[in-house]
Structure 1
Amino acid sequence: MGTEEKTNTCGTICLKYLLFTFNLIFWLAGGAVAAVGIWTLVDKSEYISLLASSAYSASAYVLILAGVVVVATGILGCCATIKEHRGFLIVYFVLLLFIFLLEITAGVLAYVYYQELSDELRVNLKEKMVNQYQQPGQDHVTQAVDKLHQDLKCCGSNNFTDWRDGEWNKALAGDRVVPDSCCKTPSDLCGRRHHPSNIYNVEGGCISKLEEFILQHLQILGGVGIGLAFIQLVGMIFTCCLYRSLKEEPY
């Protein structure tokens, strides 16, 4: 009888150390997850205004929320483990489950948008660029297009000839063929020459460049969200085991 009690006690102590260690790692991971979400929104955030769907930014916001909740949950988990309080462990388990669902949601959103991205860009990007560029009240689109041209070294949605259409060409182009931001060395009215030595003229235009850029971010978002979600399953298993090993205590 005494041997059995000692075995149970040792098992409980081992579970406590495992769960405490997990919580420290989990707490650090929460900060990392939030950082990935913030990085996704901040890095080339201007491009979001060129997208018709909000799924890209929604995935990032879900990860940021999950990261913040993870940090708070990690602190609660450490307290529950140290105090051996079954009530705290229940709350901790519920929060882990909530975060798990958040991260799965972020991963699914990233995957769904991954499948729709190419079609969305081909349908919407040219329309938004040529009809909203340098138009009144569309400063965010103008800045996004200029940054897109310079950062990704492209011109137009499919190629520079896209700029022959739309409101910009009708009212604002003057004798320019493309916006000045298409130039390899931007300067006033440099867009009058569309020779490859003067402007960016890549195959596939900005659509292919932006698609590649966003896909890289979506892969990171999806990988972080789903990967950490499954790691949390380990934490939930530890929590259940520790809960069952502790004697019933009044809440």
Structure 2
Amino acid sequence: MAGVSGCMKYSMFIFNFLFWIFFPFSFQELEIDSRLFAGVDMLIAVGSIIMVLGFLGCCGAIKESRCMLLLFFIGLLLILILQVTGGILGAVYRSQVQYYSAFSLMSSQSSYQCCGLLKGPADWGKNFNTPLGSNKICECDAENPSTDLCTSFEGRLIYKTQCISHPLVLISPSGGYVPTQAPSGGRHVDSEAFKGIRDIEK
């Protein structure tokens, strides 16, 4: 029993130590592309908490400290509860997030006089003809619309250019901010941000 106990103790120490050392590097890959994400501060906070928990797990396993191991267990339990709560809230409010994301996209399109991201009105799917508030999607509301600015599509006058050619920030259905810029800006984003709003119910 003593040998098994020692093996478990050192195994717990090694795994917690490795997790504590290598976990911060998982954020370095996301640093450039996720700098403007809404949830990045929360992820950093969670990462810091996990690092502290890993340290408690290491010390508690080596010193066989019941206090440290208890704190380690409580911390893991709290993280589990937060993850479950976040998943439930995300599922419950997903439709609301998608709906208000559509309004954000509408505002961006009106400001930059563009329509869609890569495929124009096709990015909106079946919701293209669904009014959002008092405005119609991609509606060209210029006083004297020219052929360079507007074009006819399904009997409506809409903006001609796609929004990928303009610098703007889109709010994706997942709640994060997706930075997009003209191709010369060095950033790239595909039409994934539009997928979640194609099937928004009125």
TM-score, with length taken from structure 1: 0.45
Runs of 4+ deviating beyond 4 Å: 32-41, 154-157, 174-177, 206-209
Q: Distance in 2 between matches of 1:12 and 1:68?
A: 29
> Which structure has the highest strand share of the two?
2
Matched with 1:77 is: 57
1:199–1:17 Cα change, 3 Å: same
Q: Distance in 1 between matches of 2:96 and 2:33?
A: 19
Q: Distance in 2 between matches of 1:85 and 1:14?
A: 16
Matched with 1:199 is: 161
Matched with 1:66 is: 46
Q: Distance in 2 between matches of 1:116 and 1:36?
A: 30
Equivalent residue of 1:164, what SS?
Answer: coil
Q: Distance in 2 between matches of 1:28 and 1:104?
A: 26
Answering whether residue 24 of structure 2 is matched by residue 31 of structure 1, we say yes
Superposed CA offset, 1:175-202 (max 9, x none): 456xxxxxxxxxxxxx436489x7349x
Assess if the C-alpha contact under 8 Å between 1:154 and 1:200 holds in 2.
yes
Matched with 1:89 is: 69
Q: Distance in 2 between matches of 1:102 and 1:36?
A: 24
Superposition deviation, residue 74 in structure 1 = 0.7
Superposed CA offset, 1:125-174 (max 9, x none): 3652366x2xxxxxxxx6xx98x96xx42547649972424xxx35xxx6
Superposition deviation, residue 70 in structure 1 = 0.5
Answering whether residue 6 of structure 2 is matched by residue 13 of structure 1, we say yes
**Aligned partner of 2:108: which letter?**
M
**Aligned partner of 2:149: which letter?**
R
**Aligned partner of 2:107: which letter?**
K
Q: How many residues align?
A: 155
Answering whether residue 118 of structure 2 is matched by residue 153 of structure 1, we say yes
Superposition deviation, residue 84 in structure 1 = 1.4
Answering whether residue 108 of structure 2 is matched by residue 129 of structure 1, we say yes
Identity %: 23
Identify the match of residue 193 of structure 2 among 203, 210, 220: 210
1:161–1:18 Cα change, 3 Å: closer
Note the residue ranges of structure 1 that are not aligned, 5 or more in a row.
1-6, 46-56, 134-141, 178-190, 215-251
1:112–1:161 Cα change, 3 Å: closer
Q: Distance in 2 between matches of 1:27 and 1:119?
A: 39
Superposed CA offset, 1:217-237 (max 9, x none): xxxxxxxxxxxxxxxxxxxxx
Superposition deviation, residue 78 in structure 1 = 0.8
Q: Distance in 1 between matches of 2:17 and 2:162?
A: 49
Equivalent residue of 1:153, what SS?
Answer: coil
The 5-angstrom pairing of residues 214-225 of structure 1 reads none
Identify the match of residue 140 of structure 2 among 164, 171, 184: 164
Q: Distance in 2 between matches of 1:36 and 1:107?
A: 24
Q: Distance in 2 between matches of 1:199 and 1:108?
A: 38
Query: Whose radius of gyration is greater, 1 or 2?
Result: 1
The 5-angstrom pairing of residues 40-51 of structure 1 reads 41-42=34-35, 45=37
Superposition deviation, residue 75 in structure 1 = 1.5
Q: Distance in 2 between matches of 1:125 and 1:39?
A: 24
Assess if the C-alpha contact under 8 Å between 1:30 and 1:68 holds in 2.
no
Q: With a CA cutoff of 8 Å and minimum separation of 6, indicate the structure with the bigger relative contact order.
A: 1
